[in-house]
Structure 1
């Protein structure tokens, strides 16, 4: 699973039945494998591809450095490992032709990278086509002289996310089109040889564009898998939008605060060997499980309450762009101690530890000890999308009352302080302040406590759409991650004031 500008890079989930899934590892966990410092919002890891051949796993991934404007500067890498848990080899730099690269292992032993090719020329469509290039295992490099555009896509354009398969003696090319918004779709073409000519299926394989009432939207961009029993499934990106009561369900199409999610559909084959989605090309919420399987339910493996007893962050926590090191903080005496870093708009130096929203309704809670002496110091609980879209309940300082509680929101880069002169004074005898956030699908709010028993809601209701892919897409070229919730410490005065977080609670409702 893509992780965009969050570190460590790439989430790998495991299932033994295609029903229950568990996050088990992040392969890109060193700066050698992934260096994203200074990456723009929603740059970083786009559409990784994992395959298994020749006794090892092959992971191809893209680090995108530019998201807005005429260019999409990116670098594609390859790393391998005999175990899904690593260690992973030092990355091989492949090229920068375009993003969404995947590796195809042909049955004659040859290997090929297929990827979209980017065209910056303003008189061309930027999605130039799908390029296929042979990869030399011996030389550990692509052979650019073998590169060829094998398919231009349909008139919907924005052709990307290619995956190549050899089935029934033919080469099947699955591609996403329409962009990753509500026009998103998946199409299929096939050929007798790897370089084509490719024949289009004639109709869209998967899309919800024509089904605005379908609970799954933005369907497309996926991968095909077959089971030992010979059944076929297609795992793909999707979004589950919600609407305000005052809004039409069709326009706007909705707000996806959980970002791009993954769904799986059952696939059948026609007599002339074209794939179809069982239940309709719009995709279904409920899908028939594989036959003759034994269910293997997993422990959800996240701690509802993390008391920071381990020496490392739990698997669901992420940091922005760079790994969790002493520069950001440390775990000490059952506390997460965050060093004061740059503001939450900073692309180089941010002390933020967070995890994804994975439910429309959730609560998160923490308590912290923090003693700021300037308004340039603030630490607390944040709901975060990117540097321009976030909110935070924080302990900070003002001239009137010293240590105070404030709620701030950054919306399209414009900061609002909601309490101002009414910021809540923290009593001098209080060491720890408790913070909580409650998310209720379309809105959320913050609460505080000085003893952990009596909670007081801050009378500020925040619109959750501001933390959605769709809202961010109005002003920003990267809009893929969905919302996160976590702990942050800002000290842009440069004195590195530390904040001590005693625990973190994440609970889905």
Structure 2
């Protein structure tokens, strides 16, 4: 059985592509490096990460990119015997301006070395490339109008200036007229365009309503790629705005694919909120779901009717998430990513017996911080790591963190206090746009020499940290609120948080001396 989400944890903006019997989904990675995640499946139920294509400095350097910038909304396609990946590298998103640069990379194989990027434009974000039957290629993106109000105005937003379309080829780049082909519906915030062709119609899929609880998948069609486009009789193919009790929320931003047997499928962005004190929050951020659809009168509808996406579909076997113990010996496991920098050898190295993190800038840096982490995929889990660290200053710290961004994190850290090695608990309270640190322990906990194990028990909205130097572990301070480590955790206006919760290892040395921490193990155990 296919169970949604098919890609749990932070996996937003799913672009869907089929090549023969192989299905691929590309998702956004924002400030996490390497850029873009591509998963593969043969049965639509079980998915394996097969590529992070933007993995070297000549392709991507996000040092200095603010939180929630970086790689937005990739579009994956296959034509002319190779894969094409279109994406945006956003350098600023808060306020009236958006500095959003769109690129194309290609590769003969999904897991090969992708080309250096070809720059296309910077007129807006969510780019897409359509390959027509005659070989002509068309590039589209939403256009950003900076003269209007800033983000957060919902349901309409004048800065979203429609979907623009232009011819593109490898020799000339963009060429010919730019045309605004679709302004969207009254739901507003029209973005994420994808075109596909069927029965003589060009179908334009867009996302509307913003990335939170008003989100929707909208469909329009035209006999001519340049329009005019007629909007779906129901306006939207999917939306959970009017069903607040449905376990899947924030449904939008996806893409259509037809299976070899003619079955219609559509990916979609989704969230799984929990409600705490009357407020909904999504600790896993924006995830990827899949819906089976049907065609009626050349219009696409959900197979189960209505606008609500299914929780389970089909009858294929699905492999549940497994407990993972990483020994951290040898190459870094594919589950892990780091932040922004294309020069990972400056922040970590893999040795035969451990992962060494090299203390750089603070845990709140936009440039170079040593933080290696994996996605949270479950509401309830336990994570732990064992490390050796010998700080000689309170300005050096290393340990375990639950992390959303520089404004939202909790961390259990080995540091030095009063000339002794100690473990402390540190949180960032999400005061936006600054972010202030909170130290809930009245006194540091002094610890013996040798390896220390730090762990965290996450139970929906509660996070309890522990430390141990032997078989017995000890609570570290009071429980922390998990709400802070979520999309809705308090940073800025609506539509300003786009990633998800991570748990991982961190080391900083703001003396500039590069003190190292040696992590011998890391475990992630879903409850």
With normalisation by structure 1, the TM-score equals 0.93
Q: How does 1:380-459 map to 2 (within 5 A)?
A: 380-399=399-418, 402-412=420-430, 413-420=435-442, 422-427=443-448, 430-451=449-470, 453-459=471-477
Answer whether contact 2:440 2:477 (CA < 8 A) is retained.
no
Answer whether contact 2:347 2:360 (CA < 8 A) is retained.
yes
Return the offset for 1:473: 4.9
Instruction: Provide Cα deviations, 1:272-291, integer angstroms capped at 9, x if missing partner.
Output: 211111223121111235xx
Tell me whether 1:130 sits opposite 2:163 in the alignment. yes
Answer whether contact 1:76 1:99 (CA < 8 A) is retained.
yes
User: Which gives a bigger RCO, structure 1 or 2 (Cα 8 Å, sep 6+)?
Assistant: 2
Answer whether contact 1:68 1:476 (CA < 8 A) is retained.
no
| Structure 1 stretches of at least 4 aligned residues deviating more than 3 Å after TM superposition | 295-300, 472-478
Aligned residue for 1:62, secondary structure, equals strand
- Please name the residue that 1:221 is paired with: 253
Aligned residue for 2:253, secondary structure, equals strand
The equivalent position to 2:58 in structure 1, one of 16, 22, 32, is 32
Answer whether contact 2:213 2:240 (CA < 8 A) is retained.
yes
Return the offset for 1:322: 1.2
Answer whether contact 1:68 1:477 (CA < 8 A) is retained.
no
Return the offset for 1:122: 2.1
Instruction: Provide Cα deviations, 1:451-499, integer angstroms capped at 9, x if missing partner.
Output: 1x11112241111111111224545863111100110001111111111
For structure 1, the residue ranges without an aligned partner over 5 or more in a row are 290-294
Q: How does 1:256-267 map to 2 (within 5 A)?
A: 256-267=282-293
**Cα distance in structure 1, aligned partners of 2:490 and 2:73:** 20
Return the offset for 1:63: 0.4
Aligned residue for 1:155, secondary structure, equals coil
**Cα distance in structure 1, aligned partners of 2:253 and 2:348:** 37
Return the offset for 1:147: 1.4
**Cα distance in structure 2, aligned partners of 1:477 and 1:201:** 25
Instruction: Provide the aligned length of Structure 1 versus Structure 2.
Output: 488
Answer whether contact 1:116 1:160 (CA < 8 A) is retained.
yes
Aligned residue for 1:326, secondary structure, equals helix
Answer whether contact 1:16 1:296 (CA < 8 A) is retained.
no
Answer whether contact 2:291 2:313 (CA < 8 A) is retained.
yes
The equivalent position to 1:201 in structure 2, one of 226, 229, 232, is 232
Answer whether contact 2:457 2:464 (CA < 8 A) is retained.
yes
- Please name the residue that 1:147 is paired with: 178
Return the offset for 1:297: 6.1
- Please name the residue that 1:292 is paired with: none
Return the offset for 1:323: 3.4
The equivalent position to 1:288 in structure 2, one of 314, 317, 328, is 314
Change beyond 3 A, Cα 1:42–1:68 = same
Answer whether contact 1:340 1:490 (CA < 8 A) is retained.
yes
**Cα distance in structure 1, aligned partners of 2:339 and 2:509:** 16
Higher strand share: 2
Return the offset for 1:345: 1.1
Return the offset for 1:329: 1.9
Return the offset for 1:325: 2.5
With normalisation by structure 2, the TM-score equals 0.90
Tell me whether 1:5 sits opposite 2:31 in the alignment. yes
Instruction: Provide Cα deviations, 1:129-174, integer angstroms capped at 9, x if missing partner.
Output: 00011111333x112x421100000111100001101111011101
Change beyond 3 A, Cα 1:36–1:438 = same
Q: How does 1:53-72 map to 2 (within 5 A)?
A: 53-72=79-98
**Cα distance in structure 2, aligned partners of 1:8 and 1:326:** 13
Return the offset for 1:503: 1.1
Return the offset for 1:298: 6.5
The equivalent position to 2:398 in structure 1, one of 351, 354, 379, is 379
For structure 2, the residue ranges without an aligned partner over 5 or more in a row are 1-26, 150-156
**Cα distance in structure 1, aligned partners of 2:426 and 2:345:** 27
- Please name the residue that 1:268 is paired with: 294
Instruction: Provide Cα deviations, 1:280-330, integer angstroms capped at 9, x if missing partner.
Output: 3121111235xxxxx576696x881211222x2111110101136221021
Q: How does 1:320-331 map to 2 (within 5 A)?
A: 320-323=339-342, 325-331=344-350
Aligned residue for 2:350, secondary structure, equals strand
Tell me whether 1:170 sits opposite 2:192 in the alignment. no
